[in-house]
Structure 1
Amino acid sequence: MQEACLIEDIEPLNEKSMAEAKERMDNLVKPIGSLGKLEKMSIKLSGITGELYNNIEKKAVIIMCSDNGVCEEGVASAPQVVTATQTVNFIKGVTGVGVLARHNNCDLKVVDIGINEEINHSELINCKIRKGTSNIAKGEAMTREEALTAIRIGIDLVSKLKNEGYNLIGTGEMGIGNTTSSSSILIALTGCTIEEAVGRGAGLTDEAFEKKKKVIKKVLEINKPNINDPIEVLHKVGGFDIAGLVGVYLGAAKYRMPVVIDGFISAIAALIAYRLNNVTKDFMFPSHISIEKGYNLVLSELGLDPILDLSMRLGEGSGCPLAFNILEASTKIMNEMATFEEGNVDLNDYKGLWEGKI
Structure 2
Amino acid sequence: MEKRFPAIAPRNQEASEQTRQHVDQLTKPLGSLGRLEELAVELAAMTGETFPVVTPPGVLVFAADHGVAAEGVSAYPQEVTAQMLLNLVNGGAGINVFARQIGAMQKFVDVGVAVEVEAPGVINRRIRAGSGNMLKEAAMSADEAQRTLAVGIELAEQIIDEGAKVLIVGEVGIGNTTASSAILSALTGADPDEIVGRGTGLDDAGWQRKKAVVREALALHRPDANEPLDVLAKVGGLEIGAMAGAMIGAASRRVPVLLDGFIATVAALLAVRLAPAVADYLIAGHRSQEPGHAFVLNVLGKQPLLDLNLRLGEGSGAAVAFSIVEASSRMVREMATFASAGVSDR
Indicate whether the TM-score tops 0.5.
yes
Provide the residue aligned with 1:326 in structure 2.
324
Provide the residue aligned with 1:55 in structure 2.
53
**How much does 1:20 deviate?**
0.5
Q: Which amino acid aligns with 2:214?
A: I
Q: Which amino acid aligns with 2:294?
A: N
Equivalent position SS for 2:69 = helix
Query: For residues 56 and 108 of structure 1, what CA distance do their matches in structure 2 show?
Result: 15
Query: For residues 55 and 305 of structure 2, what CA distance do their matches in structure 1 show?
Result: 20
Provide the residue aligned with 1:317 in structure 2.
315
Residue 236 (str. 1) matches residue 234 (str. 2): yes
Deviations 1:139-167 (A, max 9, x none): 21011111111101111111111211111
Query: For residues 91 and 44 of structure 2, what CA distance do their matches in structure 1 show?
Result: 32
CA contact (8 A) 2:228 2:273 kept: yes
Query: For residues 286 and 248 of structure 2, what CA distance do their matches in structure 1 show?
Result: 21
Provide the residue aligned with 2:17 in structure 1.
19
Q: Which amino acid aligns with 2:46?
A: I
Residue 113 (str. 1) matches residue 111 (str. 2): yes
**How much does 1:73 deviate?**
1.2
Provide the residue aligned with 2:37 in structure 1.
39
TM-score normalised per structure 2: 0.97
Provide the residue aligned with 1:148 in structure 2.
146
Residue 189 (str. 1) matches residue 178 (str. 2): no
Equivalent residue in structure 1 for 2:171, among 170, 173, 182: 173
CA contact (8 A) 2:166 2:257 kept: yes
CA contact (8 A) 1:158 1:255 kept: no
Query: For residues 215 and 50 of structure 2, what CA distance do their matches in structure 1 show?
Result: 49
Provide the residue aligned with 2:201 in structure 1.
203
In the alignment, structure 1 segments of 5+ residues that lack a partner are: 349-358
**How much does 1:330 deviate?**
0.7
Equivalent position SS for 1:11 = coil
Query: For residues 10 and 54 of structure 1, what CA distance do their matches in structure 2 show?
Result: 19
**How much does 1:57 deviate?**
3.0
TM-score normalised per structure 1: 0.94
**How much does 1:312 deviate?**
0.6
Residue 347 (str. 1) matches residue 333 (str. 2): no
Provide the residue aligned with 1:269 in structure 2.
267
CA contact (8 A) 1:262 1:317 kept: yes
Query: For residues 37 and 131 of structure 1, what CA distance do their matches in structure 2 show?
Result: 43
Provide the residue aligned with 1:352 in structure 2.
none
**How much does 1:2 deviate?**
4.3
Query: For residues 163 and 313 of structure 2, what CA distance do their matches in structure 1 show?
Result: 26
Give the greater-gyration-radius structure (CA).
Answer: 1
Q: Which amino acid aligns with 1:108?
A: Q
Equivalent residue in structure 2 for 1:215, among 194, 213, 216: 213
CA contact (8 A) 2:58 2:160 kept: no
Equivalent residue in structure 2 for 1:123, among 116, 121, 134: 121
Q: Which amino acid aligns with 1:272?
A: L
Deviations 1:191-218 (A, max 9, x none): 1111111111101111111111111111
CA contact (8 A) 2:73 2:210 kept: yes
Provide the residue aligned with 1:354 in structure 2.
none
CA contact (8 A) 1:289 1:310 kept: yes
Moved more, 60-69 or 45-54: 45-54
Provide the residue aligned with 1:76 in structure 2.
74
- What is the RMSD of the two structures over their aligned residues, measured on CA atoms? 1.2
Query: For residues 179 and 57 of structure 1, what CA distance do their matches in structure 2 show?
Result: 30
Equivalent position SS for 2:119 = coil
- Identity within the alignment, %: 42
Query: For residues 289 and 342 of structure 1, what CA distance do their matches in structure 2 show?
Result: 39
Residue 91 (str. 1) matches residue 89 (str. 2): yes
Provide the residue aligned with 2:225 in structure 1.
227
Hey, which bits of structure 1, 4+ residues long, moved more than 6 A? none
Query: For residues 98 and 27 of structure 2, what CA distance do their matches in structure 1 show?
Result: 33
Residue 306 (str. 1) matches residue 289 (str. 2): no
Deviations 1:12-60 (A, max 9, x none): 1101101101010111111221111111111111112211112233222
Moved more, 208-217 or 257-266: 208-217
Deviations 1:43-93 (A, max 9, x none): 111112211112233222111100001111111111000000001101111
Equivalent position SS for 1:333 = helix
Q: Which amino acid aligns with 2:224?
A: N
Provide the residue aligned with 1:353 in structure 2.
none
Equivalent residue in structure 1 for 2:63, among 54, 58, 65: 65
**How much does 1:270 deviate?**
0.3
Query: For residues 306 and 49 of structure 2, what CA distance do their matches in structure 1 show?
Result: 26
Q: Which amino acid aligns with 2:118?
A: N
**How much does 1:107 deviate?**
2.7
